[in-house]
Structures are given as C-alpha cells and as structure tokens.
C-alpha cells in the first residue's frame, strides 16, 4: 500500500514555518511562549482536520476497506495527515510562495481568530483570570469519559463551577485539549470574553 508519510513530514514543517511567520508578523507584542501556544493550537491534529473537512478532503482519500468501514475518511488523524501531504504536494509542484499563499488562504479565518485581542492566552488561563477578577472560585476539571483505541483516544472533560453549578463539556485528543475546549465553552456560557 502506498503511504504519504514523507509528504506528511514535509507538509508538517511547511505548516509550522508559514503559521509561525504569520503569527510573528501579526502578533508583535506576543512572547515566544504565547507565539508557540498559538502556533500549536493552529497546527494541532484537530485544527488541521477541520481545515481538511472544509476542503472536503475526506471523500477523496484512497483508504483500505477496513479504514473505510471504520470511518477513516472522517478521522482527525487521517484528515490531518492528508492535509499535510497535500500542502507538501503543492510545495513540490508550485514552490514555496505558492504553498505559502495556499496555507495562508486556508488558515485565514483561524489565524484571524487566534490573533484577535485576548486570544493570545489559552482558554483555561482566560477563564481563570476572569473568575479571579470577579472573586469567584476556580473551576474544577473532571474527566467524564475516555474513548477510542489507545493510540486514538478521545477525552471528554467537564468544567464545573462549584459556586453556581454551571458546567460545560469539552472533547479533545488529550486531556489538556479537552480541558481547553471545556474552558472555551465556559467562557462562551459566561459571556466573559472581552
């Protein structure tokens, strides 16, 4: 079976470089750590999969029967890898500037959202700062469920505010990502994002 692992490797590096350059340019006051967090949030598996879904990439993947039956064409890891391979193919076919332009076009909306005021901090930090500024208790994060196979786990985490009983749930491919998702949902619920 043909694999695109070498293309995925190259595409991953191209995405890191182009996104890092855009954040460096668009966030002149951000620290190295903040820039690293922003880049990581944009090039993580679920973010890449979302861009791949927007392109309608899943139905065009050549997968084995088992992968097709198990929904491989909609699995985050497969979609993210496919997007990386496509980015590398664009680079190899059209050169760096062509690939850079395409990446910036594909990530225009996520980049704009990430570089908006207040987005430099991750959702857990923003939620904690909001709660502290209003003298409220800090949230508690509880793992509700862990699903999937050992190498493709999905975490479901609850963000609970004990003082009011408000709760949100988030999902992610790691506990940390699920906590960030739950915190972002709590920020939206409280309508406290500046």
What is the set of active-site residues?
12, 84
What is the Cα–Cα distance from 49 to 68, expressed in whole angstroms?
17
Structure tokens at 193: 């994002």
Residue whose pair of structure tokens reads 């595409």 in the numeric block: 11
| DSSP β-bridge partners for residue 166 | 161
Query: 34-70 burial by CB neighbour count: b if 16+ within 10 A, else e?
Result: bbebbbebbbbbbbbbebbeeeebbeebebeeeeeee
Separation between Cα atoms, residue 58 and residue 51, nearest integer Å: 11
Cα 24 versus chain centre, distance:
18
Contact criterion met (CB below 8 Å) for 103 and 39: no
Q: Cα–Cα–Cα angle for 88, 114, 182, nearest 5°?
A: 105
């Amino acid at each position: 079976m043909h694999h695109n692992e070498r293309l995925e490797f190259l595409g991953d590096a191209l995405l890191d470089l182009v996104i890092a350059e855009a954040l460096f340019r668009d966030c002149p006051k951000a620290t190295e750590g903040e820039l690293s967090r922003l880049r990581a949030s944009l090039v993580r598996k679920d973010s890449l999969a979302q861009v791949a879904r927007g392109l309608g990439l899943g139905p065009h993947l050549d997968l084995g029967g088992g992968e097709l039956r198990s929904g491989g064409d909609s699995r985050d890891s497969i979609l993210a890898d496919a997007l990386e391979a496509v980015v590398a193919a664009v680079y190899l076919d059209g050169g760096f500037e062509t690939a850079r332009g395409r990446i910036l076009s594909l990530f225009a909306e996520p980049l704009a959202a990430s570089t908006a005021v207040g987005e430099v901090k991750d959702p857990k930090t923003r939620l904690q700062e909001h709660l502290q500024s209003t003298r409220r208790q800090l949230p508690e994060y509880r793992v509700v469920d862990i699903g999937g196979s050992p190498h493709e786990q999905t975490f479901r985490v609850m963000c609970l505010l004990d003082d009011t009983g408000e709760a949100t749930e988030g999902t992610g491919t790691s506990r940390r990502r699920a906590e960030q998702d739950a915190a972002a949902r709590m920020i939206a619920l409280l309508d406290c994002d500046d």
